[in-house]
Amino acid sequence: MTVPTHLPADALYHRCDPERFDFDTTDAIDDPCAIIGQTRALQSLHFGVAMEPVGYNLYVMGPPGMGKHSTVREYLQEKARERPTPPDWAYINDFDQPSRPRALRLPAGWGERLRQEMEHLLEELAAAIPAAFEGSEYRSHVQSIEDELKERQEQVFTRLGDEAQRHHIKLFRTPNGFAFAPLKDDEVVTPEDFQRWPEQEQRRVEEVVANLQEQLQKTIEQIPLWRKETRERILALNREVALSAVGHLIQEMEQHYAELPAVITYLEQVQKDVVENVKDFLQKGEDSEGQGHTAPTDLHRYKINVVVDHRKTEGAPVVYLDHPTYLNLVGRVDHIAQYGTLVTDFTLIRPGALHRAAGGYLIVDAHKLLTQPYAWEGLKRALYANEIRIESLEKMLSLMSTVSLEPEPIPLDLKVIVLGDRELYYLLYEYDPDFAELFKVAADFEGHIDRSHDNAGHYAQLIAGVARKERLRPFDRAAVARVVEHGSRLVEDADKLTTHLRSIADLLREADHWAKTERSRVVGARHVQQAIDHQIYRASRIRDHLQEEIRRNILFIDTAGARVGQINGLSVLSLGDFAFGQPSRITATVGLGEGSVVDIEREVELGGPLHSKGVLILSAFLAARYAQKQPLSLAAHLVFEQNYGQVDGDSASLAELCALLSAIGGLPIRQGFAVTGSVNQLGQVQPIGGVNEKIEGFFDICRARGLDGEQGVLIPAANVRHLMLKEEVVRAAAEGRFRVIPVARVDEAIAVLTGTPAGEADAQGNWPADSVNGRVMARLCEMTQLRQSFAEHGRDRHDDDPGEGEE
């Protein structure tokens, strides 16, 4: 087996040659673009938008910052222009059932027109009706009708009085009615005098009085009928007068809406209601019964509440709902406080985003939608029913049964586009059966693309697009090349480019800023580099603090010399959008035991399941390689020194295995190296994540202490294609002051680390005695024998001792 050698400097960084671009600056690019590498997502989007059947709504997924929102919105706006503008909608009063306002459909832009015309009509009515009713003609007409009633009453009472007078009887008003009494000398006869009258005269008087009373009774019975008749005549007169004042105004308005039968019907109802309730327009008038009115009168019921107004909409609407609460989505009915109670009417109906987007497109963020109570349920209900029904949450949940408004539902023809991450998509698909029914199309945004020649060109187009859209300075070709390289670093793959638009756009903006501070008219590579460096600088306070702790020997990391059972592992810490590598000392100790490898992190519950898995694999590796002919008689302990937090992942398993082999075989490990990589049971080294950060993390420590050419990092061979290391590392490697060594097997790693060949087993399975494996094997045999001798000694003692339980 050959000992692996370090990588050449050019393998540590995949450069982008600026000369491959045929432009000087991005200003020269004729076809800038806003997005790259999303062919699959865009085709899904086009398909979903084009599909008309119900349920073909879209879920656009991908991590935040991919440009989903702007891509979707721009595409929808383009498609929306080709579609017809949907109708306006207004809520109007239902004069028969005011608690159920009616929805009125109007051609686009006509809602506001109708509202204004109704306002104007009300103003006209408010002037015309009082004028008609305050006129002397009307008043004298009413007076005449009322006087007729008075005269009629007076006449019958006068006639009755005269009739009584003829019989020397007088009509009296009592507190509760009327009574008749016989007179003597123009005065009411006293009971004594009456008793003295002849019986015949008494009977005659009584009969006359009885007769008069009967006539009076009939008269009084007639009075309510006469009053009713008078009221009806006055009401009829009111209707006639009102109609003369209202009719021509309504007719004039009807001419404007001749082709809209629903509006004509509504105006007819308005006319009928105005005529029937004409007193509401009379500020200080009197009705037929002489009762004064209280002013001002509420004329709200004639208003038009335009809830969807497309006067300024060209094509179909595209609505993005930033705060998708249930009420913002489906609309609500507001209330106002009035004399200590909350009241409402149809003018307080407020539209939701569904109203505004009906006939077009609605864009919502999945996370926001799902975190708002009942918003998701409300959206699904509307999509299933194809209508927008405004219901309060209390009513929807049957929490309250208060009588309130029930606005007529508005038909819904809508394409909903939900933007979210993949996890939410799969959770919804798994747990909500309605989701698959209503969101049949998924548009999945790709996180990276191949770093091909063409795609590098597309990157240049994207940079040009962002620069023009955001009015940034043009980027020269070197700057573009540097952005391409950074695009690879962001996805940790020298052969890929990120499609994370926000990261790219942020970098471009910041590079532009640095160019501006330098008064440069063009953004160059140094400005891009300055932007990258400053991003790292802003985010690296904790990294710098930890590295300082290492330099001051508070955190123990050796970068020179050799130690048995001690190795430098590498981990990655992610804080926000910044990740950095951090060396950690891993130690292994061994003693006699039963073949166990104890992960101390796991014992104290600081190790995650993946880390534990890695350690268990080590046990399996040891058993498979060294315990074919004898049992493993060791007890090994592994620990991340000075670690006080959670450890997870298996990227330290190669380092742990090397430390363990060093401890068993008594072979010192060179501390100038750090190791990263996971191993499988067969000793193969597997790739890990964060390789660039890890290398740079150890490099920074070594550079701070002085690079001696003996330092470096062992990485899985499979990670070589991920290398996009920073300039200092590449330069140090080129100067032979730092090494990055790829390893494919654990034997390669231990050979480099110990400077001792790992050794290969011969046909009988024996290892060369001076090899790492040979020394490990020898030590394990020794431990097995020791253990066996202890066991035999123990058995002998046990045989000599009769023991308490044996007979």
Partner 1 sequence: MAEVECRVRRILLALDSSEDAVALEAAAELALGLQASLRGLFIEDVELLRLAALPFATEVSLGPARTRRLEVDRLERELKRQAERLRSRLALAAARHRRPWTFHVVRGNLLESIRTAAEAADLYVLGRPAGPARNGRRGGGPVLVLYDGTGAADHAIEAALALAAPGAQLLVVVPQEALERDMERQVHARLLAAGHPARLLSIRHAGPADLAAGARQQRAELLVLPEGEWLRDPSGLRRLLTEAVCPVVIAR
Tokens of 104: 């009125």
Render 684-749 in DSSP notation, one character per residue.
Answer: BEE--S-HHHHHHHHHHHHHHH---SS-EEEEEGGGGGG----HHHHHHHHTTSSEEEEESBHHHH
157 interacts with partner 1 by CB under 8 A: yes
- State yes or no: residue 131 binds partner 1 (CB under 8 A): no
Q: How many residues bind partner 1 (CB under 8 A)?
A: 42
Residues 435-494 that bind partner 1 (CB under 8 A): none
* 404 is known as an active-site residue: no
Q: Name the token pair of 749.
A: 């790693």
Nearer to partner 1, 212 or 480 (CB): 212
181 lies in the binding site for partner 1 (CB under 8 A): yes
Smallest gap from residue 221 Cβ to partner 1 (A): 5
Which residue reads 């030590």 in tokens?
A: 779
**What does the block give as tokens for 392?**
């309060």
Nearest to partner 1 of 180, 475 (CB atom) = 180
Contact call for residue 578 and partner 1 (CB under 8 A): no
Using rule CB under 8 A, residue 311 touches partner 1: no
Contact window for partner 1 (CB under 8 A) among 119-127, 206-214, 354-362, 685-693: 206-214
Give the range of 187-195, 619-627, 656-664, 765-773 binding partner 1 by CB under 8 A: 187-195
> Annotated catalytic residue: which of 651, 653, 678, 771?
651
Which C-beta is closer to partner 1: that of 289 or that of 430? 289
> Which of 52, 82, 137, 186: binder of partner 1 (CB under 8 A)?
186
Q: Given candidates 189, 481, 532, 570, which one binds partner 1 under the rule CB under 8 A? A: 189
Catalytic site residue from 68, 79, 303, 694: 694
Q: Are 409 and 307 in contact (CB under 8 A)?
A: no
> What is the CB neighbour count within 10 angstroms for residue 137?
9
Kindly state the smallest distance separating residue 127's Cβ from partner 1, in Å.
Answer: 21
Beta bridge partners of 740: 713
Q: Give min distance, CB of 290 to partner 1, in A.
A: 5
Q: Which of 206, 334, 577, 594 binds partner 1 (CB under 8 A)?
A: 206
Burial class (CB in 10 A: 0-12, 13-18, 19+), 82: exposed
Q: Which of 177, 561, 591, 609 binds partner 1 (CB under 8 A)?
A: 177
DSSP string, 268-290: HHHHHHHHHTGGGG-SS-B-TT-
* Cα–Cα nearest to 416, from 85, 68, 59: 59
Contacts of 783 (CB under 8 A, 6+ apart): 590, 592, 633, 634
Interface with partner 1 includes 172 (CB under 8 A)?
yes
Segment contacting partner 1 (CB under 8 A): 204-212, 378-386, 516-524, 606-614?
A: 204-212
Question: Shortest gap between Cβ of 202 and partner 1 (angstroms)?
Answer: 8
The single residue among 218, 248, 502, 541 that binds partner 1, judged by CB under 8 A, is 218
Q: Which is nearer to partner 1, 190 or 646 (CB)?
A: 190
Which H helix or E strand runs over 173? strand 169-173
User: Which stretch, 181-189, 437-445, 562-570, 720-728, contacts partner 1 (CB under 8 A)?
Assistant: 181-189
Cβ proximity of 537 and 726 under 8 Å = no
* Binding letters toward partner 1, positions 223-252, x by CB under 8 A: x-----------------------------
Cα separation of 322 and 362, whole Å? 11
**How far is the C-alpha of 65 from the C-alpha of 141, rounded, in Å?**
78
Residue 394 CB, shortest distance to partner 1, in Å, is: 46
Residue 191 touching partner 1 (CB under 8 A): yes
646 makes contact with partner 1 (CB under 8 A):
no
CB of 207 to partner 1, least distance (A): 10
β-bridge pairing 566-575 and 673-675: parallel
Report the nearest approach of partner 1 to the CB of residue 300 (Å): 31
What are the structure tokens assigned to 636, written together?
């090994």
Q: Which of 171-179, 501-509, 533-541, 585-593 is the region at the interface with partner 1 (rule: CB under 8 A)?
A: 171-179
Question: 584 an active-site residue?
Answer: no
Out of 161, 409, 668, 687, the only residue in the binding site for partner 1 (CB under 8 A) is 161
Judge contact between 57 and 441, C-beta under 8 A.
Answer: yes
Cβ atoms 681, 559 nearer than 8 A = no
Q: Answer yes or no whether residue 188 interacts with partner 1 by CB under 8 A.
A: yes
Considering only the stretches 176-184, 321-329, 413-421, 710-718, report the one whose residues sit in contact with partner 1 under the rule CB under 8 A. 176-184
> C-alpha angle with apex 368: 365 to 370, nearest 5 degrees?
105
Stretch that binds partner 1, among 219-227, 726-734, 739-747, 796-804 (CB under 8 A): 219-227
138 lines the binding site for partner 1 (CB under 8 A): no
Closest by Cα among 638, 543, 535, 637 to 583: 543
Nearer to partner 1, 173 or 538 (CB): 173
DSSP one-letter code for 647? B
Q: Is 53 in the site for partner 1 (CB under 8 A)?
A: no
**CB-based contact 209:182 (threshold 8 Å):** yes
Q: With contact defined as beta carbons under 8 Å apart, do 597 and 712 qualify? A: no
Pick the binder of partner 1 from 97, 116, 158, 251 (CB under 8 A): 158
Is the bond preceding residue 474 a cis peptide, omega within 30 degrees? Answer: no
**Closest approach of partner 1 to the CB of residue 163, in Å:** 14
Q: What is the DSSP string of 96-121?
A: S-TTSPEEEEE-TTHHHHHHHHHHHH
User: Considering only residues 2, 176, 200, 401, which one is a binding residue for partner 1 as defined by CB under 8 A?
Assistant: 176
The enclosing H or E element of 578 equals strand 578-592
Strand partners, 90: 104, 306
Pick 218 or 793: Cβ nearer partner 1: 218
Q: CA dist 372 to 214, 328, 365, 375, Å?
A: 78, 10, 11, 6
Which residues 6+ apart lie within 8 Å of 427 measured at CB? Answer: none
Residues 269-308 that bind partner 1 (CB under 8 A): 290
Tokens 């307080």 found at: 348
> Using CB under 8 A as the criterion, which residues of the chain lie in contact with partner 1 when the complex forms?
139, 143, 147, 150, 153-154, 157-158, 161, 170-179, 181-182, 186-191, 194-195, 205-206, 209-210, 213, 216-221, 223, 290
Active site residues per annotation = 651, 694
